[in-house]
Amino acid sequence: MPADLNDYFKKKNGGNSSNGGEDNNKGSSNMNFEPPQFFKDFGKKSSLVYVIIGLIVLFVIAKPYVVINSGEVGIKATAGKYDPIPMQPGFHVFLPFIQKVFIVDTRVRVMNFTSNEDIVSYNQRGSGIRLNNAISVLDNRGLPVSLDLTVQYKLDAESAPQTIATWGMAWEDKIVSPVVRDVVRSVVGKYAAEKLPQMRNEIAIKIEDGIRKDIESLPGTPVKLLAVQMREIILPTKIKDQIERVQIAKQEAERTKYEVERANQEALKKAALAEGEANAREIRAKGQAKAIKIEADANAYANKEISKSLTIELLQLRQIETQGKFNEALKVNKDAKIFLTPGGAVPNIWVDTKNKQQTTAITNAK
C-alpha cells in the first residue's frame, strides 16, 4: 500500500488510540483527504475509455451487421451500386454509412386478384400474400366481365440484385401484376361472355401459358412462375340470367328426352313381350299341328297296314260272326224280317217290321 495512504489511515485511526477525542477532532479537521490511486490513474486513461464507449455507441447505432434468414437473400449496395452476387443466409458485416444491405424474400409468394377481400389491410400484413382487385375484361361484344385469379411465383435468388436494380423493391407490381392483367384481357376478350363458363378449362390453360411465356421472356428471368389458378368468372347479371334460362331449358329438354326414351323403352318392352307371346302361340300351334299330323299319319299308316291285312277269308269270318249274332237276335224277335247285303267287313242290315215293340227290340239288339 502506498505511504501516503498509510499515513492517511494512521492519522484517521491514531487519534482514537493515543490522544483524546478532542485532539482527534482537531487533527481530523486539519487533515487533507487524498483519493485512491485508481481515481488518480483514471484521468490518464479517461480518453481511452471514452473512445471505447463511443465505439460501442456507434456500433449500436450504426449496426454494421445483418442476419439473413433462410428463404431470403441480401443485396449489398456500396455507394449506391448493387453487388451482383447476392448475400446468402447467415451473419454478415458491412461498412455503415458507405454500404447498405437490402433483404428480399425469395420464398413462394401469392398474388390474388379478387373482389371479396379487404385489399389494403391484407397487403399490410407482410404474409407473402398480395391482394389486388379482380381483373376487369371486356368480352368480344364489349360486355364487362371480371375474373378472380391466384398466381404463385417467387423471386429468382441468383438474379435478385439485377432484378432490384432494374425494377426496384416494388418489382411485383411492375412485373407480375401487369403481365397477368394483359394476358387475361387478351385471352378472355376473344370469347363471348356466356361461353366463358363452358370454356373455363381451355381459357385457364391459355391464361397460364401466356403469363408463363411473357414472364420467362423478361431479361434475366427475374421471376419464376409456379402456378396460375382461375377461381371464379364474374358475369353481368343479364348474362347470368340468360345462362340460367338456357340451363333450365336444357334441363327441361333433357327431362323430356328422358321421358320420351323411357316411353320408347316401355313400348319396345311391351312389343317384345307381345312378339314373344305371339311366337310362343305360334310355336304351340305348330307343335299341336305337328302332333295332329303325326297322329293322322300314324292312323293312316295303321289303316293302311290294317287294309293290307284284310283277306277274303277274314271278311267271311267277320260275316259269319255277325250272322251268328243276328241269329241269336231272331230267336227273340221271330217276326222280324232281316235282309243281309254282303260287302265289306260287316254286311248291311235292313229290318222290316210292323210291330213297334219288335222294332224296339231289334234296335236294342243292335
3-state SS, the chain, equals CCHHHHHHHHHHHHHHHCCCHHHHHHHHHHCCCCCCHHHHHHHHHHHHHHHHHHHHHHHHHHCCEEEECCCEEEEEEECCEECCCCECCEEEECCCCCEEEEEEECCCEEEEEECCCCHHHHHCCCCCEEEEECEEEECCCCCEEEEEEEEEEEECCCCHHHHHHHHCCCHHHHHHHHHHHHHHHHHHCCCCHHHCCCCHHHHHHHHHHHHHHHHHCCCCCCEEEEEEEEEEEECCHHHHHHHHHHHHHHHHHHHHHHHHHHHHHHHHHHHHHHHHHHHHHHHHHHHHHHHHHHHHHHHHHHHHHHHHHCCHHHHHHHHHHHHHHHHHHHCCCCCCEEEEECCCCCCEEEEECCCHHHHHHHHHHC
Nearest partner of 331 among 362, 366, 364, judged by Cα: 362
Mean pLDDT value of segment 355-362: 50
Whether pLDDT at 6 is above 60: no
Classify strands 81-82 and 144-155 as parallel, antiparallel or unpaired. unpaired
Q: What is the pTM of this model?
A: 0.54
Q: What is the pLDDT of residue 18?
A: 45
Q: What is the pLDDT of residue 123?
A: 52
Q: Which residues contact 214 (CB under 8 A, 6 or more apart)?
A: 179, 182, 183
Look at 72-76, 82-86, 302-306 and tell me which has the smallest mean pLDDT: 302-306
Residue 248 φ/ψ, nearest 5 degrees: -65, -45
94 close to 68: Cβ distance less than 8 angstroms: no
Q: What is the CA radius of gyration of the chain?
A: 65
Whether pLDDT at 282 is above 80: yes
C-alpha cell at 332: 227273340
State the average pLDDT for the chain.
Answer: 77
Bigger pLDDT: 152 vs 354: 152
Q: What is the pLDDT of residue 183?
A: 95
Mean pLDDT value of segment 45-70: 76
Q: What is the pLDDT of residue 21?
A: 46
Domains of the chain, by residue range, sit at 3-62, 109-235, 238-309, 312-365
* Own/partner long-range contacts of 16-20 (Cβ < 8 Å, ≥24 apart): none
Nearest partner of 111 among 215, 218, 4, 21, judged by Cα: 215
Whether pLDDT at 65 is above 80: yes
Diameter of the chain by CA atoms?
A: 214
Q: What is the pLDDT of residue 36?
A: 57
110 close to 151: Cβ distance less than 8 angstroms: yes
Whether pLDDT at 208 is above 90: yes
Mean pLDDT value of segment 211-217: 93
Amino acid at 25: N
So what CATH class is 109-235? Answer: alpha beta
Q: Which strands, in side-by-side order, build the sheet including 99-105?
A: 81-82, 72-78, 99-105
Bigger pLDDT: 93 vs 326: 93
Report pLDDT digits (tens) over 174-197.
999 999 999 999 999 999 888 888
Mean pLDDT value of segment 331-354: 56
215 close to 225: Cβ distance less than 8 angstroms: yes
40-49, 163-172, 357-366: which is most confident: 163-172
Look at 87-96, 129-138, 346-355 and tell me which has the smallest mean pLDDT: 346-355
Mean pLDDT value of segment 9-26: 47
